[in-house]
Amino acid sequence: MGIATVCLSGTLDDKLTAAAAAGFDGVEIFEPDLVAAADTPEDVRARCADLGLTIDLYQPLRDFEAVPPPLLAANLRRAEHKFQVMERLGADLLLVCSTVHPDSVDDDDLAAEHLHLLSERAAAHGVRIAYEALAWGRHVSTFDRAWRIVRRADHPSLGLCLDSFHILSRGSDTSAIRVIPPEKLFFLQLADAPRLDMDVLQWSRHHRLFPGQGAFDLAAFLRTVLDTGYTGPLSLEVFNDVFRQSDPRVAAVDALRSLLGLQEGASVDTALPAPPRLDGVAFVEIGAGPGADAEVAGALDALGFTRSGEHRSKPVDLWEQGSARILVNRAAAAEGATAVAAIAVESTDPPASARRAERLLAPILPRHTQAGEADLAAVAAPGGTSVFFCRTFFSGTDFSGTDFNGTDTDAGWRADFAPTGAPAETGAGLHSVDHVALTQQTDDFDGAALFYRTVFGLDPETPAEVAAPFGLMRSLALADARHRVRIALSVAAVRRGGWAPAVPHPQHVAFATDDITAAATRLRAAGLLLEIPANYYEDLDARLAPPPERLDLLRDHELLYDRDADGEFLHCYTPVLGSRVFFEVVQRTGGYLGYGALNAPVRMAAHRRDRLRRSA
């Protein structure tokens, strides 16, 4: 598996180091990376050998074919220089992109003749040529036309390079790939992309993504290519404005993870354990520093949670209601700070989930388990959240809130908590965690989506965009097929500067209920119900014309509201607790599967007001 250096940020050496550390065994050297480097081609060759990287491709040679004789002569001279560089690099495959030169002509015979000439020169240096149709090529913009030219040129050192972006961005029929003999398929470049209706060159240069992060059906594409008998490298070539400036060590891991996920999707044997079924969120652990811990506890109490357990060796409390469980960890966070420290999901096979995560390059977290405590496999997710896989209800036992067994490690993570003996509250009717919402740093967003998609086996839902008071937000929720585990990711469209970042990177846990007014009533009694402005209800009335008594109920309980063809969504919020965590209560009716994205700006403005009022 390989990666083009253009995918990653930094100097050439930064890129090679990151690619090797992630586990790639090959690279495409993007010429501008070499040109700006102080290392000679011989140095780069040695460095790659040290790192265990083969140089699978040198790229690109542009604007070569079907040009007038003087330009052809200059192009051959240029190519000759590059062959020499490649010999010094120890690279034997050169990418030639279909020309965009204004002086080129629309003549496949001439293109074939010129490529034959180039291949003959290349062969003298032990170099082969991989010809690729750019989606915006002046005359050659489709792979099948490029293939006809390669056939016509008929030179053993000339073959085809297929690039998924150039093919799928045009919506080309990929079935014609099947006629290409595998020995003429010299190289395969893979890139995903979101569906954008824009100039294809700009789309390609700025918005490519790693496989699984975009909208292309790359698994089907890869399957088609592999079915030809292609056995060459699977190599990523992704131009992306964010990846170009983010830590290459992180991006390279995302890249390799994406290739593993893609191969699994294309039914290539990757030795990845299939994702075990997820049955829900076992618990969410919130780190809450001094001061913030009381705020979080107060909100949980107001929401009807019972503090049912105390960890046997750590300053961690267990709060429960129905199958919604929150751990409040007072150990790690700074004063006033809050964060979603961990998400534990119920897996039908926790060890297999953990093995899958590890195979997908998720960093395994060191644990400090004491004798008799559950050995939960934990991995680090992007954005500083840990992930656990567990089975709260084991061996068919329906575990009740008071039935602890502190000595049996088979009893799972709950055995680590000594029961407080607190009587279970009647509660407020919350029955489970509906979703966990995590705002990502700019550089982590696409990587986080890929992480939850591949490691958890979740499916991405439709991306959304919200015009929030302090800037545009993008969001993407992922869920399993049964909607037992939902992770909602969001990111500021522009990395925030100094102006009014109301709450930096907020996170929240949403609890599901069938009686949201009960929860709202309790929150209000505790002074912890976020106030929604009258203007919102007036607009709601204008837009959706709910029955008057329904509107009154919403207004009286500070509930936000959405509906679609499948059902309704009612939700309310606590204030921000500590630095950035809050709770949401949601009630879904019918088949509503969204998150009330339309209401997000109203919620954000309300949180802003609430913070200003509390700090006044």
Interacting residues toward a copy of itself by CB under 8 A: 6, 9-11, 14, 31-32, 34-38, 40-41, 74, 77-78, 81-82, 85, 196-199, 202, 206, 241-242, 244-248, 441-443, 467, 469-472, 492-500, 531, 533-536, 538-539, 541-543, 545, 601-602, 604-606, 608-609
Read off the amino acid at residue 304.
G
Q: Of 105 and 196, which CB lies nearer to a copy of itself in the complex structure?
A: 196
**Rounded CA gap, 538 and 601, in Å?**
16
- Minimum distance of a copy of itself from residue 68's CB (angstroms): 17
- Minimum distance of a copy of itself from residue 602's CB (angstroms): 5
Question: Pairing state of beta strands 430-440 and 507-513?
Answer: antiparallel
Cβ 230 vs Cβ 185: under 8 Å: yes
Q: Of 329 and 441, which CB lies nearer to a copy of itself in the complex structure?
A: 441
Sign of the four-CA dihedral 486, 520, 283, 380: positive
Q: In what order do the strands lie in the sheet with 278-288?
A: 378-380, 386-390, 338-347, 278-288, 324-329, 316-321, 306-311, 417-419
Q: Of 121 and 307, which CB lies nearer to a copy of itself in the complex structure?
A: 121
- Minimum distance of a copy of itself from residue 36's CB (angstroms): 4
Q: Of 200 and 418, which CB lies nearer to a copy of itself in the complex structure?
A: 200
Cis preceding linkage at 350, omega within 30? no
Helix (H, G, I), strand (E, B) or coil at 597: helix
Cβ 578 vs Cβ 504: under 8 Å: no
Q: Of 434 and 584, which CB lies nearer to a copy of itself in the complex structure?
A: 584
- Minimum distance of a copy of itself from residue 252's CB (angstroms): 12
- Minimum distance of a copy of itself from residue 74's CB (angstroms): 7
Cβ 352 vs Cβ 276: under 8 Å: yes
Read off the amino acid at residue 99.
T
Read off the amino acid at residue 279.
D
Q: Of 22 and 345, which CB lies nearer to a copy of itself in the complex structure?
A: 22
**Rounded CA gap, 149 and 154, in Å?**
9
**Rounded CA gap, 581 and 445, in Å?**
18
Q: Of 182 and 471, which CB lies nearer to a copy of itself in the complex structure?
A: 471
Q: Of 184 and 249, which CB lies nearer to a copy of itself in the complex structure?
A: 249
Q: Of 74 and 124, which CB lies nearer to a copy of itself in the complex structure?
A: 74
- Minimum distance of a copy of itself from residue 192's CB (angstroms): 19
Helix (H, G, I), strand (E, B) or coil at 500: coil
Structure tokens at 121: 């020169």
- Minimum distance of a copy of itself from residue 79's CB (angstroms): 8
Classify residue 498 as exposed, middle or buried by CB count within 10 Å of its CB (0-12, 13-18, 19+).
exposed
- Minimum distance of a copy of itself from residue 101's CB (angstroms): 14
Could you tell me the CA-to-CA distances from 405 to 282, 417, 418 in Å, in that order? 17, 9, 9
Closest CA to 209 of 173, 174, 164, 171: 164
Q: Of 37 and 332, which CB lies nearer to a copy of itself in the complex structure?
A: 37
- Give me the phi and psi of 331, to 5 degrees please: -85, -45
Structure tokens at 333: 């966070």
- Minimum distance of a copy of itself from residue 206's CB (angstroms): 8
Q: Of 50 and 241, which CB lies nearer to a copy of itself in the complex structure?
A: 241
Structure tokens at 80: 């000759």
- Minimum distance of a copy of itself from residue 532's CB (angstroms): 9
- Minimum distance of a copy of itself from residue 3's CB (angstroms): 17
Q: Of 183 and 531, which CB lies nearer to a copy of itself in the complex structure?
A: 531
Cβ 187 vs Cβ 93: under 8 Å: yes
Query: In angstroms, how far is CA 152 from the centroid of its own chain?
Result: 42
- Minimum distance of a copy of itself from residue 439's CB (angstroms): 14
DSSP 65-99: SS--HHHHHHHHHHHHHHHHHHHHHT--EEEEEPP
Q: Of 9 and 385, which CB lies nearer to a copy of itself in the complex structure?
A: 9
Sorted by sequence, the CB contacts under 8 Å of residue 542 that are 6+ apart come out as: none
Half-sphere exposure of 165 (CA within 13 A, CB side): 29
- Minimum distance of a copy of itself from residue 465's CB (angstroms): 8
DSSP 263-330: HHHTT----PPPPPPEEEEEEEEEEE-TTHHHHHHHHHHHTT-EEEEEESSSSEEEEEETTEEEEEE-
